Homo-oligomer: A and B are copies of this chain.
């Protein structure tokens, strides 16, 4: 049998007001004897306030929403784990919403979660090239009434806090590594064109080439969609174009590129060097461990939580956008090009 605050009050011979004050640690002038008795009785019945009644009055739920494009993707799964850990530690619960990378679902998920009553929202946006929908989404978010922070991705024109890795710097570091090895014919497998993270990483690639005086060759850019298969087909294209090295905009596509190289009887890194982006767990246990840009997922989750938590607790904090430092992890998938070993 579930007990209410009235049950406790009755048994303690006090009013519900008094019980509420004590159990919530609110400023009060209740005698220690009475307070102790109340706490004892509450403990005895394992009393916990009804979540809905509290929410109805306080408008607080101690729940946040986490919207993710694909929880089955290791990167986002680890992110969810990180955020969940911080939530739990701070007494919050986390409602997860998976959008399957469907921007339409970003919208419905936000509406749904806000209507259910959440205190805040962390959103890793789906990749979306539709400007009109983006505008509508921004409008929706603008008068959301609950704080939210953008994670990993971003929408042009958004007004909120956010955190991501420094995507372009990461793309630049990956490409620079290949250049410093002596490669000049370097292909790039992008994420979905038009999407924020894809364009930022590509920008880093182009920047590195330009800085090194290597003319940017549009035909050495092949569009992928962050999935394994697209990495494989893009790599085939690039190999046809005679690249000696490939920067894949995420590890999953890098794995696809491995497969393309191997299916032609070629070898990584002897024939084609490959750099990834993310540093998934699996990148390190491949037969030829992958050189890649490491993202600290726990740090990403923590920053997102910190940004949100500050805004949960205090009103009117200015927006902040934090970009985490990428790290180049050199493993066995990159080597100097054939002529220069």
Provide the residues of chain B in CB contact with A50, threshold 8 Å: 56, 117
Provide the residues of chain B in CB contact with A113, threshold 8 Å: 93
Which chain A residues (245-287) contact chain B, with CB distance < 8 Å? 255-256, 258-259, 262, 281-282, 285-287
Of the four ranges (under 10, 10 to 19, 20 to 34, 35 or more), the interface on chain A belongs to 35 or more
Task: Tell me the complex Cα distance, A111–B74, Å.
Answer: 29
Stretch of A19-27, A35-43, A81-89, A316-324 lying at the B interface: A81-89
Task: Tell me the complex Cα distance, A285–B262, Å.
Answer: 11
Given known A-B contacts A51-B117, A115-B48, A285-B255, A77 and B72 have beta carbons under 8 A apart? yes
Q: A312 contacts the other chain (Cβ, under 8 Å)?
A: no
**Cβ of A84 and Cβ of B55 under 8 Å apart?**
no
Task: Tell me the complex Cα distance, A67–B114, Å.
Answer: 23
The contact of A71 among B48, B84, B228, B255, by CB within 8 Å, is B84
The contact of A52 among B77, B78, B100, B117, by CB within 8 Å, is B117
Q: Mark A89-113, 1 if CB is under 8 A from B, else 0.
A: 0000111111010000000000111
Q: A33 contacts the other chain (Cβ, under 8 Å)?
A: no
Q: A241 contacts the other chain (Cβ, under 8 Å)?
A: no
**Cβ of B71 and Cβ of A74 under 8 Å apart?**
no
Q: A157 contacts the other chain (Cβ, under 8 Å)?
A: no
Which chain A residues (43-67) contact chain B, with CB distance < 8 Å? 46, 48-53, 55-56, 61, 63
Extra contacts, 5 of them, besides A53-B56, A72-B81, A96-B96 (Cβ < 8 A), are: A51-B116, A71-B80, A72-B77, A72-B80, A93-B97
